[in-house]
Structure 1
Amino acid sequence: MCADAAVSLAILAKAPIPGRAKTRLIPALGPVGAARLHARLLRRTLAVACHALPPARITLWTALDPDHPLFLELAEQHGIMLRPQPEGDLGERMHRALSQSGGPAMVIGSDCPALSPALLAACAGRLKNHDAVCLPAEDGGYGLIGVRHPDPRLFDDIAWGSGSVMAETRERIAALGWRLACPATVWDVDRPEDLARLSAACPALL
């Protein structure tokens, strides 16, 4: 199932380095276990993305170790592009990733098991007649944001990591006069209490 090839996708991901990836899961899984889960989630995210969009339109924006073997393996396996994440807070990095596409683009992380090829394709399709698309997350953030034309004001003064990220983003979108589509609400894997749900939804990842 391929979405409109004109829409690009940026995936932001850390290298699966024990002690530095999925740190909030370390109390439940230990540093090595958390890093392994992060790697599995990233592999799944890439597989889902490549079923929704042409690989040439997908860029994996890497952090911690841009030359990590997993990144190189995924690039070769799927035919995607690798770029190191720039400096700055999450909003600055997302804006940079969206801006590099030169056209409509979406950005995601790697920890949202609710993403599917159909949902990614639906989000890309919404950008044909909406200025922005989001997948609000149950924790108050979002699992995806996409725009027809990137604008840094979309990410100004957002309390990243808080439960108000989606609400603040809606305010920014309204201030810009944009039309927003939210095709679905999703959930992600951030905290130990998310692991039971992950086990039920995607047991192969644990």
Structure 2
Amino acid sequence: MSPAKPDPPRAAPTGVTTLLVIAKEPLPGRVKTRLTPPFAPAEAARLAEAALGDTLRTVAALPAARRAVVLEGAPGPWLPPGIEVVVQGPGGLDERLAAAFGACTGPTLLIGMDTPQITAADLAPALSPGGWERCDAWFGPAEDGGFWALGLAVPDPGLLRGVPMSVPETGAVQRRRLVDAGLTVRDLPRLRDVDTAADAVDVAALAPHGAFAAELARLTRGAVR
């Protein structure tokens, strides 16, 4: 009897939305600098790589017309199959986000790499078949005052340019920009970004079976020895 053939790889479900992840290549000294200390730059980069890997694995299984990482740097082994790589544009973060949306057509949802605890349920409202009915924008607030997700039915770059980034009022300013433009905005769950060591501990507890939690546990065990 011939050996059974392995099941073919399962294709990710399709949808109507372009799903983007804005990310940096996880290089020491270039990512998660607020984790240093207590972590060394190389350790912070390992945590960033784990967070990015967890995020992209979730994205790869979500219903989307297209999935891409908008990347500053070069792809590595953390990139799963089915995720396209798009080079980030120049300028400040607002310009880079604007360029990412400007390169898309149709409904587009962009998320960051700092919320490895995201689940399909967190994004389901925006990715469901009726997610864009009577809705022009989706907004995912972060606990630090920023945002972890932004979706636009019509990806207009002008809705992001000039928004002050990485400040406590970033989320409020961005959401107000959408409302002032006359868009109907619906909210996704409020999530915690990984910026500090305390954030890392809390986020790992929310997703204890992910690569991020495993990497944090390894680093913590090493520090105790």
Fold shared per TM-score above 0.5 = yes
Q: Give secondary structure in 2 for the equivalent of 1:195.
A: helix
Query: Are the aligned partners of 2:125 and 2:188 in contact in 1 as well (CA < 8 Å)?
Result: yes
Alignment partners' CA distance in 1, 2:23 and 2:184? 28
Tell me the CA shift for residue 150 of structure 1.
1.7
Query: Are the aligned partners of 1:11 and 1:60 in contact in 2 as well (CA < 8 Å)?
Result: yes
User: Does residue 1:200 correspond to 2:211, yes or no?
Assistant: no
Q: Match for residue 22 of structure 2?
A: 12
Alignment partners' CA distance in 1, 2:98 and 2:127? 17
Q: Find the partner of 2:89 among 86, 91, 115.
A: 86
* Mapping for residues 3-82 of structure 1, pairs under 5 Å: 5-54=15-64, 57-63=66-72, 65-66=73-74, 68-70=75-77, 74=79, 77-82=80-85
Alignment partners' CA distance in 2, 1:183 and 1:62? 24
Q: Match for residue 140 of structure 1?
A: 145
Alignment partners' CA distance in 2, 1:91 and 1:18? 24
Alignment partners' CA distance in 2, 1:101 and 1:3? 20
Aligned-partner residue type, residue 62 of structure 1:
L
Q: Give secondary structure in 2 for the equivalent of 1:61.
A: strand
Alignment partners' CA distance in 1, 2:127 and 2:99? 19
Alignment partners' CA distance in 2, 1:81 and 1:128? 27
Query: Are the aligned partners of 1:4 and 1:124 in contact in 2 as well (CA < 8 Å)?
Result: no
Q: Give secondary structure in 2 for the equivalent of 1:6.
A: coil
Task: State how many pairs are aligned.
Answer: 198
Aligned-partner residue type, residue 135 of structure 2:
H
Alignment partners' CA distance in 2, 1:86 and 1:46? 20
Tell me the CA shift for residue 3 of structure 1.
7.3
Tell me the CA shift for residue 186 of structure 1.
0.9
Please give the per-residue CA displacement for 1:3-44, whole angstroms capped at 9, x wherever unaligned. Answer: 761101111111111111111112121101100000000110
Aligned-partner residue type, residue 47 of structure 2:
L
Please give the per-residue CA displacement for 1:121-177, whole angstroms capped at 9, x wherever unaligned. Answer: 222233233100011111111110000012233213222101101111122112110
Q: Find the partner of 1:183 among 182, 188, 201.
A: 188
Q: Give secondary structure in 1 for the equivalent of 2:36.
A: helix
Query: Are the aligned partners of 1:49 and 1:120 in contact in 2 as well (CA < 8 Å)?
Result: no
Q: Match for residue 173 of structure 1?
A: 178
Aligned-residue CA RMSD (Å): 1.9
Tell me the CA shift for residue 198 of structure 1.
2.6
Aligned-partner residue type, residue 89 of structure 1:
G
Alignment partners' CA distance in 1, 2:215 and 2:37? 18
Tell me the CA shift for residue 120 of structure 1.
1.7
Query: Are the aligned partners of 1:41 and 1:205 in contact in 2 as well (CA < 8 Å)?
Result: no
Structure ID, larger Rg: 2
* Structure 1 unmatched ranges of 5 or more: none
Q: Give secondary structure in 2 for the equivalent of 1:162.
A: coil
Tell me the CA shift for residue 90 of structure 1.
1.2
Please give the per-residue CA displacement for 1:56-115, whole angstroms capped at 9, x wherever unaligned. Answer: 61011111x22x433xx61xx322211110101112211221222211101111111341
Alignment partners' CA distance in 2, 1:120 and 1:15? 24
Tell me the CA shift for residue 189 of structure 1.
0.2
Query: Are the aligned partners of 1:18 and 1:31 in contact in 2 as well (CA < 8 Å)?
Result: yes
Aligned-partner residue type, residue 163 of structure 1:
P
Query: Are the aligned partners of 2:102 and 2:157 in contact in 1 as well (CA < 8 Å)?
Result: no
